[in-house]
Structure 1
Amino acid sequence: MSKVDEITRESWIMSAFPEWGTWLNEEIEEEAVPPGNVAMWWLGCTGMWIKSAGGCNLSVDFWAGNGKRTKAGKLMAKGHQMANMCGGRKLQPNLRAIPHVLDPFAVKQLDAVVATHYHQDHMDPNLAAHVLRDLPGDIPFIGPLKAVETWVGWGVPRERCVVVRPGDTVRVKDVELVALDSFDRTCLVTTDGEQDIHNTCPNDMDDKAVNYLIKTSGGNIYHSGDSHYSIYFAKHGKDYDIDVAFGSYGENPVGVADKMTSVDVLRMAEALRCKVVIPLHYDVWSNFAADPGEIELLYELRRRRLEYRFHPFIWEVGGKYVYPQDADKRRYHHDRGFSDCFEEEPNTPFRSIL
C-alpha cells in the first residue's frame, strides 16, 4: 500500500493537530524558575500558564476550542452577548486565528485550574476531563459562581470547585490568588438561552466574573480577564502592589464595545500603577484582530508628556515571559535557534564561498 493510500482525513488531523504538539508542554515541565522570579506562558486569548519559583503550576483561562467552522448557520443564538450588545443576530465571522500551542491531554503537572469567567473561550472541558481522569490529587477548580456551575455541568465534582467573589483569597502552594472586582460588562448582557426570558441568569457581576491578583515571590500579576476599562482600576492600583498587568485588547466591530482600545490599555496600566502592561485577546478572533503596535505608538507619543512609569510588552502566543528577569524587554520573539546551533560541533570547519 502506498503512502497516499494510507492517508485519511483522520490521519491528517492526528498528525497535524495540535499544531505545536507537546513542545510547549515539555518546555513548561523543564523550566526551573529562578528564585525571586515567576514564569508565564501565553496560551492564546487570555489563557495563561503561570509557574512559580516554588513549582506551583496554574492554568488561568486556558481554552483549547475554536470559533466558527461552517457558514451553515445564518444567525447567532438568541441571547448571545454580541446579539444583545449590538441588537443584531447576523452570524459572527469569529474564526480562531491562532494555533493551539498546548496539548491539554499532555499536561503532567498542575496545581489549580483557574477561570476569570464562564465564557466559552476562557474555560476548557478537555483540560477538565484530563484533570479528573488522569492527574493525581484533588486539583481544585477556582472561579466565580457561573464558572463553577459550568464545570459542574461538565461533570466536575462540586467538592473539587472553589467559588470566589471579590475579596476572597485562595492559597495554592507558594502562590496566593486574590479575587477582585471584574469590569466585564459583556458578561452582564450574556444570557443562558431561552430561560433568560424569565430573568433567571444572575445580573450580579460578582457571580459571573472576577479579576485576579496573583501574588508570587517574583512579583504580583494582575489578570483582568475580559474587563472593559473602568475608573475602578484606580482603586485596585491603590490597594495592591501590581507588577505585571494583563488587559483584553481588540478592534471592536461597529456596534460593539467588548474589548479595551489602545487608549484604554494605557489608561488601565496608569491606574493600576503597574510596571509592565501586556495586551491579550487581540490574537484569537479574526473579527476582533488588532495590531498591538498601536499601543506602542500611542505609548511613545504620550509617555514623556504624561510621565508614564510603566511600559508595554508585546508578546507572541506560546512565548515565555519571566518576571522580573525580562522586566526591561519590550517585544517578544520566538527563539530563532541559531545562537547555539554549533555547540554540538564546535570544530566544524567553515568554508568561504565567493
Structure 2
Amino acid sequence: MKIDEVTREKWILSTFPEWGTYLNEEIADTEVKKDTFAMWWLGCTGIWLKTAEQTNILIDLWNGTGKRSHGNGMMRKGHQMQRMSGVQKLQPNLRNQPFVLDPFAVENVDALFVSHIHSDHLDINTAAAVNNNCPSAKFYGPAEVVKIWQAWGVAPNRTVVVKPGDEIIINKTKIKVLESFDRTALVTENDPDVTLKNKLPQDMDQIAVNYLFETTGGNLYHAADSHYSNVFAKHGNEHRIDVALGAYGENPRGITDKVTSVDILRMAESLKTKVIIPVHYDIWTNFMADPKEITTLWNFKKDRLKYQFMPYIWQVGGQFNYPENAKDLEFNFDRGFSDVFSIENDTPFTSFL
C-alpha cells in the first residue's frame, strides 16, 4: 500500500478494535477445568464468563465511546449527570480503555445478561453481534432493558424480562436475579422534559438488577453500578459468594456515583465474598481511580475485618480463574519469551552478552 491509498476509513478498519480477534481466540481456545470458572474483563463492567461445561455468558459488554468533541461546551439536555447534579458544563467523560474484544467476531454465546439501562452497559453493537452470530442466545434484563432491545429489533421470543427473585438455569449454571442498589439509575431515568418535582423515580426493579452466577466451579456476584447498600449483607447471608465485582471510581465534585475504596471493603465484608474485584474505574477519564488505594486500605484493616477476603487488581483484557487466582492480589499479562534462546540466535555480538 502507498500513502496516497491510506484513508481515514482504512485506518479505522485496520486499527479497531485495537486487539483485533486476539481475545476472541483466547476465550474460544480456553478449556475451563472441572470445579473452576474463568472470566475476562472487557472494560467498564463487561465480563465474559466461561464455565467448565463450556457455557459462555456475556454480561454488560459495552462497545461504545464517551465524548468525541468539545461541541458547544455544554452538557446535552437530559444527560444523566446533568439531571443528577444540575451541572451545565460539558463533562470530560472520555473512554479510557481500548476495545479488547471484537464484538462482531463473538461465537458460541449462550446468553447476554444486562444489568440496567445506562448505555455503557446496554449496548446496541453488542446486541447486534449476539443477535446475528449466536442465534440460540437469549437476552436477559429488567423490563426497561428488554423494551430497548425490542425497539432495536431483537425478536421478543429471544428476550426475557427478569426481576429480583427470579432464577434462570443455563446448562449447569444457575443465575439468581437480585436487587440492585443503583441510585444513579433511579434518580436519572425520568423524562428529561419532566422535573423530578413532578414525577417520582421509577421502580428500581424495572430498570436495574444485580446478578449471582452460580457455576459448578464457584459463584460470581455482579453488582453492576450498585452504590454501597446495607442490603449487601442480606445478599451475603442468603447466598454463597466466592467472587464479587464492584463499580469503583473516584467521584467528581458533586457526584456520588461509584463505590469508593472504603466502601469496596465494606461491600466485600457484607457480601462475605472470598475475592473482591473493582471494575468500572477504568473506563471514564473523569472517574479514574487508583485501585492500589483498595489494597493499601485492605492491608491496614484486614486483621480487623470480621470476614476475611482478598482484593484483586485486574487489567482489562485479562483472564481470572477461580479458585486458581483467588489469592494473587494482582493481575499481570503474560510477558512471553518463555522459549528465549531455544534456537540459535543470530543477533550480532551475542557472545558478549
TM range (shorter): over 0.9
| 8 A Cα contact 1:93 1:287, kept in partner | yes
Q: CA RMSD in A?
A: 1.8
Pair 1:5-2:4 in alignment: yes
The amino acid that maps onto 2:309 is F
Higher deviation after alignment, 247-256 or 330-339: 330-339
Offset of residue 132 of structure 1: 2.4
Offset of residue 201 of structure 1: 8.3
Counterparts of 2:77 and 2:147 in 1: how far apart (Å)? Answer: 21
Offset of residue 197 of structure 1: 5.0
Pair 1:212-2:206 in alignment: no
**Deviation per residue, 1:204-256 (Å, 9 max, x gap):** 10111000000001101000000000011000000000000000000000000
Offset of residue 331 of structure 1: 0.4
The amino acid that maps onto 2:166 is D
The amino acid that maps onto 2:248 is Y
Offset of residue 54 of structure 1: 0.2
Offset of residue 348 of structure 1: 6.0
Match of 1:168 among 166, 169, 187: 166
| 8 A Cα contact 1:202 1:208, kept in partner | no
| 8 A Cα contact 2:115 2:142, kept in partner | yes
Counterparts of 1:278 and 1:317 in 2: how far apart (Å)? Answer: 12
Q: TM-score, normalised by structure 1?
A: 0.94
| 8 A Cα contact 1:191 1:201, kept in partner | no
Alignment of 1:71-110 (within 5 A): 71-110=70-109
Pair 1:295-2:294 in alignment: yes
Q: What is the aligned residue count?
A: 350
Offset of residue 99 of structure 1: 0.2
Counterparts of 1:196 and 1:168 in 2: how far apart (Å)? Answer: 32
Counterparts of 1:80 and 1:99 in 2: how far apart (Å)? Answer: 24
Counterparts of 2:174 and 2:227 in 1: how far apart (Å)? Answer: 24
Q: Which residue of 2 aligns with 1:237?
A: 236
Unmatched 5+ stretches in structure 1: none
The amino acid that maps onto 1:240 is H
User: What SS does the corresponding residue of 2:266 show, helix, strand or coil?
Assistant: helix
Higher deviation after alignment, 75-84 or 272-281: 75-84
The amino acid that maps onto 1:37 is T
Counterparts of 1:160 and 1:45 in 2: how far apart (Å)? Answer: 25
Q: Which residue of 1 aligns with 2:153?
A: 155
Percent of residue pairs identical: 53
Alignment of 1:45-84 (within 5 A): 45-84=44-83
| 8 A Cα contact 1:79 1:191, kept in partner | no
The amino acid that maps onto 1:125 is I
Q: TM-score, normalised by structure 2?
A: 0.95
The amino acid that maps onto 2:102 is D
Counterparts of 1:278 and 1:331 in 2: how far apart (Å)? Answer: 10
Alignment of 1:1-354 (within 5 A): 3-137=2-136, 139-194=137-192, 196=194, 203-306=202-305, 308-341=307-340, 345=342, 351-353=350-352
The amino acid that maps onto 2:335 is R
The amino acid that maps onto 2:143 is L
Counterparts of 2:314 and 2:229 in 1: how far apart (Å)? Answer: 24
Counterparts of 2:256 and 2:323 in 1: how far apart (Å)? Answer: 33
| 8 A Cα contact 1:43 1:317, kept in partner | yes
Higher deviation after alignment, 127-136 or 21-30: 127-136
User: What SS does the corresponding residue of 1:108 show, helix, strand or coil?
Assistant: coil
Offset of residue 135 of structure 1: 2.7
The amino acid that maps onto 1:334 is F
The amino acid that maps onto 2:93 is N
Higher deviation after alignment, 244-253 or 69-78: 69-78
The amino acid that maps onto 1:146 is E
Higher deviation after alignment, 103-112 or 84-93: 84-93
Unmatched 5+ stretches in structure 2: none
